[in-house]
Amino acid sequence: MSKNVRYLTSYTIDKYNHSLIKNNRNIIKAIQQNDKRVIQELYYDNRDYFLNWASKENHISFEDAKDLYQDAMVVLIQKIQDRKVERIFVSFRAYIFGLGRQLIRNKIKEEFKRDKREGIFSDRSLLLGENHTEDNRIGLVVSQLDSLPDPCRYILTHFYLKNLTYEEIAVSLQYKSINSLKVQKYRCLKYLKDRVFKNKVKNI
């Protein structure tokens, strides 16, 4: 990644020359296209403000604040790339702070619940069990995805994990139409699902 990323990009976050909404629209478009430079710039641009706010006003450690900031950024990017958020009417900073506030609330709730559980059962295996279940699911799905033959592995990885569009994948794999790529993607998805559940049954 470029070292002088803060001074680059046609989408540079210009606070003075454009209206907020127009500027937000450009940033959203760039994130939808997975423009890494814009995502990186957004990360740098709000990081210090967020860490100061989270650690001072919410009394959490700097390391926890960093972790929360990254979680907030993950939620933001996923919401935009999944087209769940197409417009933002406040500044990006305010939006990220809003997400952070929600995450902090969840974290406090989770810790309270955990303390209560620990107090009652003196047993953390329940909580660890939950994490293991999630880890197992990701492990199983990703390992089966990795072992799929091409073009299935390529299509599903690029569509679901790298967030490429149908158009980009079609060009790269030389599909003549988007529709035939879609049909192939669903065929691959069924293949993946069958393999995941065949393996899941085997491991029980």
Partner 1 sequence: MKYNSKKMHFIERYFNEDLSKEELEFFELEMQRDEEFKIEVTQYEYVFGGLKEARARKLKSDFKKIEDQLHSRRPKYNFSVASIMRYGAVATVAVLFTIAAFNFSNLEPVIETEQVFSEYFRPYPNVIAPVTRTTEVDDSDLKHVMSFYDAKEYDAAIEGFDKLLADVDLKNEMLFYKGVALLAKGEAAEARDHFESMDQINNFSNQRKWYLSLALVQLNEITDAKELLNEIIRDKSYFMIYAKDLLEILSPK
CA angle at 82 for the pair 66 and 96, rounded to the nearest 5°:
30
Smallest separation, CB 185 to partner 1 (Å):
8
Smallest separation, CB 104 to partner 1 (Å):
17
Which two tokens mark 45? 């641009």
Task: In whole angstroms, give the CA distance from residue 165 to residue 32.
Answer: 10
Provide the 10 A C-beta neighbour count for residue 149: 9
- Residues making contact with partner 1 (CB under 8 A): 1-5, 8, 34, 36-37, 40, 43-44, 47, 66, 70-71, 73-74, 77-78, 82, 84, 134, 137-138, 140-142, 145, 149-151, 153-154, 156, 160-161, 163, 168, 171-174, 182-183, 186-187, 189-190, 192-193, 196-197
Task: In whole angstroms, give the CA distance from residue 88 to residue 85.
Answer: 7
Comparing CB distances to partner 1, the nearer of 78 and 118 is: 78
Smallest separation, CB 19 to partner 1 (Å):
27
Comparing CB distances to partner 1, the nearer of 25 and 37 is: 37
- At 15, is the secondary structure helix, strand, or coil? coil
Smallest separation, CB 18 to partner 1 (Å):
23
Comparing CB distances to partner 1, the nearer of 65 and 88 is: 65
Smallest separation, CB 182 to partner 1 (Å):
7
Which two tokens mark 114? 């955990």
- Phi and psi at 11, nearest 5°, equal -95, 10
CA angle at 173 for the pair 168 and 178, rounded to the nearest 5°:
60
User: In angstroms, what is the C-alpha Rg of the chain?
Assistant: 21
Comparing CB distances to partner 1, the nearer of 118 and 150 is: 150
Comparing CB distances to partner 1, the nearer of 112 and 143 is: 143
Smallest separation, CB 81 to partner 1 (Å):
9
| CA torsion, ordered 168, 172, 176, 182, to nearest 10 deg | -60
Comparing CB distances to partner 1, the nearer of 112 and 197 is: 197
